[in-house]
Amino acid sequence: MNQRKKMTRIILFALVISFIAGMAMAGEDMSTITGTIEVTDAGVVIKTDEGNFAVTGADLVTLAGKKVEAVGKVSEGDSGKVLNVVSIKEIKE
């Protein structure tokens, strides 16, 4: 029985380490974008100095016209950059 407990602990430890490593690697792909939320015919975008980012992963219509800091993963879409938002906060000026 003692050997079974030891093996269970080893497996649990390996799972925890794998989870932590996965979270750390996922965090490396995240970008922070600062800009103004705009609602266009194509959908919601964050307008920045680097261009517009289409938004997925969050409903930001209520923040239209406000400056925000958004964190998420950037990818290339059919019509430009896309930000899959993980977190967002309004920047009060």
Residue 10 is assigned to a structural domain of this protein: no
Residue 76 is assigned to a structural domain of this protein: yes
Residue 47 is assigned to a structural domain of this protein: yes
Residue 60 is assigned to a structural domain of this protein: yes
CATH number at residue 80: 2.40.50
Reduce the DSSP state of residue 65 to 3 states and report it: coil
Predicted pLDDT at 12: 72
Strands 67-77 and 43-48: unpaired
DSSP 79: T
Predicted pLDDT at 52: 93
Q: Model's pTM, two decimal places?
A: 0.67
Strands 51-56 and 43-48: antiparallel
Residue 19 is assigned to a structural domain of this protein: no
What's the domain range around 57? Answer: 31-90
Q: State pLDDT tens for residues 28-87.
A: 588 899 999 999 888 899 999 989 999 988 888 899 999 999 998 898 888 889 998 988
Number of folded domains in the chain? 1
CB within 8 Å of 33: residues ≥ 6 apart: 46, 48, 53, 69, 70, 71, 72, 74, 83
Residue 79 is assigned to a structural domain of this protein: yes
**pLDDT band, very low/low/confident/very high, at 18 (cuts 50, 70, 90):** low
Residue 84 is assigned to a structural domain of this protein: yes
Residue 7 is assigned to a structural domain of this protein: no
Q: Which residues pair with 53 in a beta bridge?
A: 46, 81
